[in-house]
Amino acid sequence: MTRNFLGNSTIVGPVMQFSLLMVPLVMSCFFVVYAMAGWVIDGRDRLNWAVEAPTVSVWVALSMFAFGGLVIAYVRWRGGSWWHPLIVSSVGHIVLAVLMTLSVFITVKL
């Protein structure tokens, strides 16, 4: 039996794959826009943003960790390899969440 490098991507159905890929994509896009807003705005708007930003970033990051962990567990339970596109995507979005959280905390300190 021959296996490709990414493993069998049909372990999870196409509709489920689409759904599990879209949710973290939307969350990451929100997080990038929210974190970058702190670099752009100034004055009173930045002060208001800085008050709520650490809490929002921690909750969004924790949500992305939880969702990514559940997706990884689901794919592994279904028999997917560690190189399955859903697992690679989940790890990538978790890394992005960490970077955006660091960006928010750095911006708040400036």
> For the segment 58-83, what is each residue's pLDDT rounded down to a tens digit?
999 999 999 999 999 999 998 888 88
- Check pLDDT > 60 for residue 47: yes
Q: Residue range 12-30: average pLDDT?
A: 89
pTM, entire model: 0.81
Q: Which residues of 32-64 are buried (b: 16+ CB within 10 A; e: fewer)?
A: eebbeebeeeeeeebeebbeebeebbeebbeeb
Q: Residue range 41-56: average pLDDT?
A: 86
User: Which pLDDT band holds residue 2 (cuts at 50, 70, 90)?
Assistant: very low
Single-letter amino acid, residue 40: V
3-class SS of residue 78 = coil
- Residue spans per domain, the chain: 22-109
Tokens 């689409």, located at residue = 18
